[in-house]
Structure 1
Amino acid sequence: MPPKKKDAKAERGMQKAAEREKQKIVEDKTFGLKNKNKSKAVQKYIKGVQQQVKGPMKGGEQALVAKKKEEQEMKKRTAQQQALLASLFKGTENVKKIAEDSCTVGTYDPKASKEGQKINLYTDQRQQKMETMDDWDQEKLEQVIKTKHTRGNEQNATEIICKHFLDAVEKRQYGWFWTCPNGGDACRYRHCLPP
């Protein structure tokens, strides 16, 4: 005679009762914890308590969890690699577009288009050659001085020449971007050479 089968309803009822007991134990152990739904640390603690009470996972469940973790890691790695490649080849896309659109081969000069260029962080800008008057003749120098100082500094009635202006001319630093350290355009002394 075969052994009697247990009643399926009774077995399901016992399983539900065991689940309720386990859930009650979890609730008792986590009673009084604040921010159960918000704090990650508390959620991690609750998850650990649930795993303790419910027992270790079955082989199939562990395999699924491990597979999901591995897929997530693979996605992370591929995303990182794509981001790295995108950052490495960022500038080459613009060169390709310019070469295809408007320029023939060999006519593109990256120094000519300053729109897309950035400041080189590896060179000191102060060491680069400042704008000088080496290639200016006397006529050009007088023209620059005249145009720079006819803007609105007519209230200066002194005939004294600014010492900062003379220093800048001697050091060949005087140019369009030079400003007087004695107040800029508000300097009361003349910024031109005597006739």
Structure 2
Amino acid sequence: MPPKKNDKGGVPKKAAKTIEDKSFGMKNKKGGAAQKQIAQMASSMKNGGSAEQKRKEAEKAAREREKKAAEDAKREAEMLLNKPAQIQKVPFGVDPKTVVCIFFKKGNCEKGKKCKFSHNLDDERKTEKRSLYTDTRKEEEEKKKAETSADWDEEKLRSVVLSKKGNQQTTTDKVCKFFIEAIEDGKYGWFWICPNGGDKCKYKHALPPGFILKTKEQRAAEKALMDKSPLKTLTLEDFLESERHKLTGTLTPVTPESFAKWKKERLDKKAAEEQAKKAKEATGRALFESGNWRTTEDDEDADDEDDSAWNLEKLRAETQALRDKKEEERLALLNGGTVPTLAPDAAPEASGS
């Protein structure tokens, strides 16, 4: 029985379907112009498409051939080295998708997506187990000692800073300058110790808000820029001269004489303030050590003695005056006379007159 002929004049079924898809929606398909256009499509598909499509297919085929040749060469090299074929096994009850394919790690797994093992290298880091026969603490410690902030990115730096539990009892919100310098110089690491007392440093050992870790290239560029800056070669004399020209108003020029006068007045004023402060804050102990308390007590005793002597003389005079007055009254009564009346301020006469 002879084979059936294609309805589209030898055009494959796939090509015929493509032609039908492209001619979908055309008006008057049975017309002469439409039939010519459809015939052109059919001949193009029969000849393998346009020149652009042929070029792309040729490039794709060439890449596939190169890839296959490279894989074959690698396989032959392994065979020449007498490497036996490896068979990957997993323990009973372990999901193969949690184990990384050993051929994928080498870059020559032929199964691709059909491989029952994992093709994700992160799974190996997640499921890696410690050996029970080796002590890795010393190795990890040496590795941490070798690590510094120069090898970390900003995220790693922040995680290490948060993981270190020292320096919790801070008394200020200021960030330790040694901490910042160690980070900027790339010296901060797992075993970094603060020169300001270690964990007893009162300043914070935490990154300030908005801190951006600069790379070595950025720091080198900034240093080169600073070296080229005119501020690098600016001397103190030049800086003072430039600032002096910015001053305005009536000012006194500084000369050796005016400076000596100003300094003397300043020292005298400071000495007077210190003396006044000491006098104001004098305590009993300071007074006792100075010996001024003796002079003060002597002066007070002398004043008390003067007051006592004056009061005693006055009392004696008043007592004598009263006695004289009473004697005159008694004599007057005996003689039958009247008692003389004296003015309050008049002094009594002597009884013998």
Higher relative contact order (CA 8 A, sep 6+): 1
* TM-score of the pair, normalised by structure 1: 0.31
Going by fraction, where is helix more abundant, 1 or 2? 2
Q: TM-score, normalised by structure 2?
A: 0.18
